[in-house]
Every structure is written in C-alpha cells, then in structure tokens.
C-alpha cells in the first residue's frame, strides 16, 4: 500500500470515527462544545492524517511549524529588549547553538536552568485587523496566534531556556538573512511567495504585469545586483530593462527623477546627517542621494531638528524618530551592507579602519607607524 492509499484509508477511518462520536453524542451523552483551536486541529487531522500524526508525536519543544518572517524578527526584538536589562538571560542566550541541516534548522540550548514563571510576550505592532485569538501556555513553551478577519494567521512561539531544549524550524524556500538585534546575532527568515506578490500587483492595477527601466553604473557589483533583481521580479510578472552606463551619465538620470528605478551604493562620513539628511530630506531633491524625490514633511522637521540640536542624545532621538517614519514609507530597497575587509601586517600600528572606507594615516585620533 502506498502512502497516498494509506492516507486515503486513514481519512475514511477518521471520518467514520467522527461520525460514531456524533451519533453517540446525539443518543443522550453529554454534549461536547469544541473550541476553535480543537476544530482547527481536527480539520488539519482529516486533511492530512500522516502529517498531523508526525507533528503530534514530536515532543512539545520540537513542535514548531514554519512561521512568517515578521514573527521571527518581532520575537528577536522582544528577546533583545529583555537581555538589555537581564544579565542572566543575556548569559543564557549565548549558549544557543544553531545546527544547519538540509531540510531544517535546530536551535539548541545548553546551559544553566532558568527558573521562574514563563514570561508572556506579545507582538505589539501587528498589521491592521489582526487580533490575538489563541494563547496556549505550557510549562516550557508558549504559542500565540493572531488572526485577521480574512483568516490569515501570524503565529508566535517561544521556548523556555532549559537544559536540552531545542526548536526546529523548517525554512522551506525562505531567504535566510543574518541580523543583529540589540547586539545579539540571529537569523531573519524572508518568505518567498511569488503568488502573493502577483496578487498585490493585481490589487494595484497591474494584473497583466508591468515593465520598468533600471539604471545603474557599469560596475560589476551593480550589474550582478541588477541581473538578480531582474530574475526575481520576472517571477511575479515584472519586466526589468537594465541600463548600465559610466557614473556621469548614470548620475544625471538618477538626479533628474527620470528613472523608474535606479541602483547605487552610498557611503560618507560616519554621521547620520550624511545618510538620513542626504538621502531623505526634501531639500536634497535634485541631488544624487534623493534623486527619487522622496518627501515627508514630518521627516523633514525631525531631520532639521537633529541638524540644529547640540546634544548628541537629542540628535539620536530625532534621527530615530525620522528613521521609523522613513522605514514605514519604504522609499527604497536597501538590500545589502558591504563588508569592507583589510589585511594589515603585524608591523603596522595604530591603523583605524573607518566606516566610510577612507584610509587616513595621520588624524587627531591616530598616527600610523611601522616597526621593523
């Protein structure tokens, strides 16, 4: 008997069993009022009994399904906030070991037992319409479900740090990105869902696809990026024409706001002014930084306040507020941060690698010297 035939047989058996349960209930036994969670579990069992049984048979700490990317990031933020005020938790978290396998990833904990009540976390910034519908609290794990009116779900699962505890995550086709949240290294899982992207394009009026022109400088790094973007967007019905040219020609197109899309890198002095103000201030229209003509009056106000502030703490606060608004507006796709790596001979002293990638041998902060 094949797995498919066995699956079909088990469905029939389960349906017959449910039918008998219903008949016995109708015969005078106490009525059973199933919870929404129970109903979902029964529906999943009937739909795919083998998969349901395999998942049910796993220990609780392994019973982690594939989640949306937003869940992993939000949970990391919550955990990072906790670690900032709890040295005990910070010391324990670094004992998580990540094991990579062909089909799944295991996050395994090895360290001292953490005692006390299970903390209760929640996602504080949910997409519009989502509300918490389920919160299952166990001795060593919590599972929270948020649902939208249309039935879409966001699930948040987290596990208590106990000796031998582990979480299994099946990434599927997700893109896995390394991130740092509050100084803690982690992974960000970005779902790859071309069909959902097509639906969004159709809702925006581009159900038949669209064609865009991408302008870049003729460097190898930029051309590699363009080819990858062209292939990805083709999966959702977007045709991307690539126009590569030397810097002077490219910059004229980018600054004029005549490009559908343009790609470039940006580096300057390591101060927020040279990034946030130059890239997102309305005053920078016509410049190479804000060639897309991004404009937000509140962002302009905060950037100006940051420029005028004399206290670094005030500047930082203004820039953080502005950055939150910019991220929410999503004016561009910021896809990478370049890793700049230098090889320095052991005889070289007082060399400082700068964030803007410039090399300086004598400054008020350093004076490079060499020994024999």
Residues 245/219, Cβ–Cβ less than 8 Å: no
Each of the 372 residues of the chain gets a pLDDT tens digit; together they read 555 555 565 666 566 665 555 555 554 544 445 555 555 556 656 666 555 544 444 333 333 333 333 333 333 333 333 333 333 333 334 456 777 777 788 877 766 666 677 778 888 778 778 899 999 888 777 888 888 887 777 777 777 767 667 777 777 777 777 777 556 667 777 777 888 889 889 999 999 989 999 999 998 989 999 999 999 899 999 999 999 999 999 999 988 888 899 998 887 777 899 899 999 999 999 888 888 899 999 999 999 999 999 999 999 999 999 998 998 888 888 877 777 788 899 999 999 887 667 788 998 888 999 998
- pTM for this prediction: 0.54
Joined together, the tokens standing for residue 94 give: 């670094």
Q: What is the dihedral of CA 86, 80, 122, 168, to 10 degrees?
A: -110
210-217 and 261-263 beta bridge pairing: parallel
Residues 355/340, Cβ–Cβ less than 8 Å: no
* Selection from 96, 66, 330, 331 nearest residue 176 by Cα: 66
* Selection from 129, 156, 7, 142 nearest residue 67 by Cα: 156
């Amino acid at each position: 008997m094949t797995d498919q035939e066995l699956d079909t047989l088990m469905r029939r058996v389960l349906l017959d069993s449910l039918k008998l349960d219903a008949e016995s209930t109708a015969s005078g036994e106490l009525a059973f009022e199933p919870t929404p969670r129970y109903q979902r579990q029964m529906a999943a069992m009937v739909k795919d009994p083998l998969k349901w049984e395999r998942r049910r048979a796993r220990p609780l700490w392994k019973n982690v399904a594939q989640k949306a990317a937003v869940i992993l990031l939000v949970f990391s933020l919550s955990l990072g906030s906790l670690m900032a005020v709890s040295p005990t938790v910070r010391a324990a978290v670094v004992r998580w070991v990540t094991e990579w396998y062909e089909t799944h990833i295991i996050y395994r904990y090895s360290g001292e037992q953490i005692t006390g009540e299970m903390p209760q976390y929640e996602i504080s910034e949910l997409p519009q319409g989502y509300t918490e519908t389920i919160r299952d609290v166990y001795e060593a794990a919590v599972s929270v479900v948020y649902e939208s009116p249309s039935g879409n779900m966001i699930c948040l699962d987290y596990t208590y740090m106990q000796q031998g505890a582990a979480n299994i995550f099946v990434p599927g086709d997700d893109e896995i990105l390394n991130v740092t949240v509050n100084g803690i290294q982690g992974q960000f899982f970005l779902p790859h869902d071309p069909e959902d992207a097509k639906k969004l394009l159709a809702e925006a009026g581009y159900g038949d696809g669209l064609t865009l022109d991408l302008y870049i400088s003729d460097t190898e790094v930029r051309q590699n990026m363009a080819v990858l973007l062209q292939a990805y967007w083709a999966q959702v019905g977007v045709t991307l024409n690539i126009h590569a040219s030397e810097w002077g020609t490219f910059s004229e197109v980018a600054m004029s706001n005549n490009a559908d899309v343009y790609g470039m890198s940006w580096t300057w002095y390591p101060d927020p002014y040279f990034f946030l103000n130059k890239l997102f201030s309305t005053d920078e229209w016509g410049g190479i930084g804000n060639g897309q003509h991004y404009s937000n009056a509140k962002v302009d106000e905060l950037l100006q306040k940051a420029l005028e502030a004399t206290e670094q703490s005030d500047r930082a606060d203004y820039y953080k507020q502005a950055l939150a608004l910019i991220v929410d507006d999503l004016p561009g796709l910021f896809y990478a941060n370049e890793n700049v790596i230098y090889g320095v001979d052991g005889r070289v002293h007082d060399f400082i690698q700068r964030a803007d990638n410039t090399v300086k041998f004598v400054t008020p902060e350093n004076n490079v010297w060499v020994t024999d």
